[in-house]
Amino acid sequence: MIEGLLGFAAMFVLMALRVPIAVAMGIVGFVGFALMRSWPAAMSSAAGEFTDIGAYTLSVVPLFVLMGNFVTRAGMSRDLYQAAYAFIGHRRGGLALSTIAACAGFGAICGSSLATTATMARVAMPEMQRFNYSTAFAAGSVCAGATLGILIPPSVIMVIYGIMTEQSIGALFAAGVIPGLVAMGFYMLASVWVTSRHPEYGPPGERASWAERLKAMRSIWGVVLLFAIVMGGMYGGFFTPTEAAGVGAMGGFLFALARRSLTLPVLRDVLVESARTSAMLFLIVIGASLFANFLNFTELPNALKEFVTQFQIHPIVVIIAICAIYVVLGTAMESLSMMLLTVPIFFPLVTSLGFDPVWFGILVVCVIEISLITPPVGMNIFVLSSVMPQVPTTTIWRGVVPFIVADILRMSVLIAFPAITLFLPKWLGL
């Protein structure tokens, strides 16, 4: 157990030295494993981590990343925003509500919150500024709404959780749907609450006629079709999640092509960008799995289990404590590495307490969403301020506060009623 704690300490020292997190996890995992077992064993397993990263089931990651990048280039976020705007834009705070709805829609074809932030910021921020929205409120609605990208399937984070914990990716995706809609509802309530206290933060937009609404609805057929093919194909038993990702990427490619948003240089950029992102992600996966191998030998997960049973801590208290730890860690750590670092410890504990691993996966995704918008290290905030350099970071920080409150309320609901999460996968027989 002491070895495990030393391992964590060494990792945090390396991280503080500015060594890439993937490399820090890898060094500690490798050296720790070698000291506890033997150097030849550590060397052999480390070499295997690199050569086996090409396993077929892992190809789901780059393909979903690619799909997200294609639909981002295809400009589908603008259509979604206009459709949402046609229906709810004329209400108080309507543009913020439209932003949140459009983010949810975009999340259904894109598995990355960062891509959702970048594309929605470009579409929604200028509109909200045109209607004199409070900059903080506008930025908050984009940052928070975009976190839905990883909760509503497809989701790259869920895929990585599924691979790490050997859970069905199909079940995780299905489990994310209803919590995603619940989350959208809470975000909308948060913006209604803000505009009811400060009507000047979110003046209403223009009312659209029914003819305009129908026209806007028709323009999002591409999004609906792509979602239907990918998810329908997966749950209809036509293809596996990996194949769904390949078909989705192809669909995104064809849409981008049909909309004439792909030239050869753009295509090359999309592909190279997705390849680099995948290389970066897989390096973290390799580092994390070296680290996890080491942790399994340290008995740290078992020690934690014994601690919980010894003091007879109520399982729900354990879950709440884990979520609280995640929220605190998430303010300072990048989300993916936070998940990969902690899941090897928390997952055995949570499942030994009898909780559903899929349900816990959705909770992990939810706390990651919170970590994306909590300062000082909130990736969505960074992305928004890189797309909109004129918006000060501190303004965004102010704007996300009501949405963080909404997130915490949503987490409480999901913890209190596991059926919200588990109903759909059960119904689909997964």
Ranges within 298-357 binding another protein (CB under 8 A): 332-337
Contacting residue, 4, 21, 167, 226, with another protein by CB under 8 A = 21
- Say what the alpha-carbon torsion angle 71, 77, 83, 88 is, to the nearest 10 degrees: 140
Q: How far is the CB of 28 from another protein (least distance, A)?
A: 11
Smaller CB separation from another protein, 56 or 427: 56
* Residues from 186 through 215 that contact another protein (CB under 8 A): none
Q: How far is the CB of 262 from another protein (least distance, A)?
A: 12
Q: Which of 283, 288, 388, 406 binds another protein (CB under 8 A)?
A: 283
Restricting to residues 43-62, which ones interact with another protein according to CB under 8 A? 43, 46-48, 50-51, 53-56, 58-59, 61-62
Of 14 and 84, which CB lies nearer to another protein in the complex structure?
14
The verdict on 10 binding another protein (CB under 8 A) reads no
CA 330, CA 350: separation in Å to the nearest integer?
Answer: 19
Residue 216 or 340 with smaller CB distance to another protein = 340
Query: Cα–Cα distance between 205 and 226 in angstroms, integer?
Result: 29
Buried b (16+ CB within 10 A) or exposed e, 123-135: bbbebbeeeebbb
What is the closest distance, in whole angstroms, from the C-beta atom of residue 109 to another protein in the complex?
16
Of 20 and 418, CB closest to another protein: 20
Residues within window 250-279 making contact with another protein, judged by CB under 8 A: 250, 253, 268, 271-272, 274-279
Q: Which structure tokens are listed for 304? A: 């934690």
Choose among 294, 202, 223, 213: nearest CA to 70.
223
The residue among 97 and 364 lying less far from another protein, judged by its C-beta, is 364
The stretch among 79-87, 152-160, 189-197, 317-325 that binds another protein (CB under 8 A) is: 152-160
Contact predicate 223/80, CB 8 Å? yes
Decide if 242 contacts 170 (C-beta within 8 A): no
Identify the CA nearest to 228 among candidates 201, 247, 215, 207: 247
Comparing CB distances to another protein, the nearer of 151 and 319 is 151
- Residue 36's contacts (CB-CB under 8 Å, 6 or more residues apart) are 3, 294, 297, 298
- 384 lines the binding site for another protein (CB under 8 A): no
Binding residues among 153-172 for another protein as defined by CB under 8 A: 156-157, 160
Selected from 1, 6, 10, 23, the binder of another protein by CB under 8 A is 23
Give the residue, chosen from 1, 6, 10, 27, that forms a contact with another protein under the rule CB under 8 A: 27
Q: How many residues bind another protein (CB under 8 A)?
A: 74
Residue 382 CB, nearest approach to another protein (Å): 7
Identity at 321, one-letter amino acid code: A
18 touches another protein (CB under 8 A): yes
The residues near 97 (Cβ < 8 Å, ≥ 6 apart) are: 84, 88, 89, 91, 188, 191, 192
CB of 228 to another protein, least distance (A): 16
Q: CA-to-CA distance for 82 and 74, rounded, in angstroms?
A: 15
Among 337, 357, 363, 352, smallest CA distance to 303 is for 352
The least CB distance from residue 103 to another protein, in Å, is 14
The binder of another protein chosen from 28, 63, 188, 234 (CB under 8 A):
63
For tokens 């753009």, name the residue: 266
Helix (H, G, I), strand (E, B) or coil at 314: coil
Residues in the chain: 430
For residue 274 the two structure tokens come to 């997705």
CA distances from 47 to 36, 52, 101, 285, 409 (A): 18, 9, 46, 14, 45
Contact between 246 and another protein by CB under 8 A: the answer reads yes
Segment near another protein (CB under 8 A); pick from 171-179, 192-200, 241-249, 320-328: 241-249
Cis peptide before 62 (omega within 30 of 0): no
- Tell me which of 182, 223, 247, 358 binds another protein, using CB under 8 A: 247
- Per-residue contact flags (x/-) with another protein for residues 75 to 114, judged by CB under 8 A: -------------------------------------xxx
- 112 or 141: CB nearest another protein: 112
